[in-house]
Amino acid sequence: MKFNLTHRPRRIRKNSLIRSLFEESCLKLDHLVYPVFISDCTNVPEKIESMPEIFRWPANKIVSKIHEWKDLGLNSFALFPHIDQSKKCQLGKEALNPESLIYKICKEIKSSISDIVLIGDLALDPYTTHGHDGILGSKGQIDNDSTVDVLSRMSILAAEAGYDFVAPSDMMDGRIYAIRSRLDDHNFTETGIISYSAKFSSAYYGPFREAIGSSQCKPIDKSSYQLNPRNFREAKRELELDFEEGADILMVKPAEPYLDIINYASNNFNLPISAYQVSGEYSRLWASHLNGWLDLDSCALESLYSIKRAGADIIFTYFAERIASKI
């Protein structure tokens, strides 16, 4: 039987060459940022049990590893510290130590590899004994303005160390303006800001907290500063404020559960949009793969394509190394 059809959309899908000709979303290695955990507690790579194929890298190994990753085609890295418990305190004072791990490592990497993009996380959770992203006030709530002051001081140390971008991930009010102002006042006008603008209070962060050593016996409630997962208007407001305060790039985190937010940001702000495919997104695909339920590489790529299609220009992903040969 033959139908008299005017429209046959399958014509543009009939073989791989034709399908490639009409692909709408392009994913390149240059679009990816590889988050890297660096530890001062070990001299050998440490497996992160909840994140297969991801390690905490010792300081003495990280430069050679980044050379290897560059050979794969990866050029952008976000560095996260895992520091010894003895260096942590209620106020996270180690974050303001110019000789702290995350600043020293940046200098070492930059002195060895020039053509590389390094992104420095600005948050206090790796440095505090309580695991929160800021300084706790007398009533146990985050002291917003004191925290912002520390973050802006951290930004100077990060810029001096050589970071191309600082990435405040704390969700404090007014921190983008404070960081931009302090950077400019210290003549770091070329240091960019990737703002975690719409960072939701998500259940997907658990493996990351293990990786940086901020996990506790019970989950940490960060809902007084991270966004309510039920809310859209709240995310729109935060994106608008960070845009006005001087962010160079706006980020949505997590990524795949919030494709609608990514799409909104892409359509409404004349800035690059970043999305962070977080540890829980990574680990759930691995768990399904290890149970024989899903094909890991196919699902990882499909997930990344969905994030790109939604409007992300840049994607932070733990899959970067694994899929480098597949893009």
Q: In terms of C-beta distances under 8 Å and separation of at least 24 residues, what long-range contacts does 64-69 make, across chains too?
A: 65/36, 66/36, 66/109, 66/113, 66/116, 67/112, 67/113, 69/34, 69/320, 69/321, 69/324
Residues 80, 208: Cα–Cα separation, whole Å:
10
Strand 165-168 versus strand 117-122 pairing type: parallel
From residue 253, give the alpha-carbon distance in Å to each of 169, 170, 257, 261: 10, 12, 9, 9
State the maximum Cα–Cα separation within the chain, in Å, rounded to a whole number: 78
Query: How many CB atoms are located within 10 Å of the residue 271 CB?
Result: 18
Positions marked catalytic: 199, 253
Residues 309, 303: Cα–Cα separation, whole Å:
10
Q: CB within 8 A of 316, min separation 6: which ones?
A: 32, 33, 34, 35, 78, 251, 274, 275, 276, 277
Residues 53, 321: Cα–Cα separation, whole Å:
9
- Interior/surface letters 80-108, b for 16+ CB within 10 angstroms, e for the rest: bbbbeeebbeebbebbeeeebbbbbbbeb
Strand 165-168 versus strand 76-82 pairing type: unpaired
3-state secondary structure of 125: coil
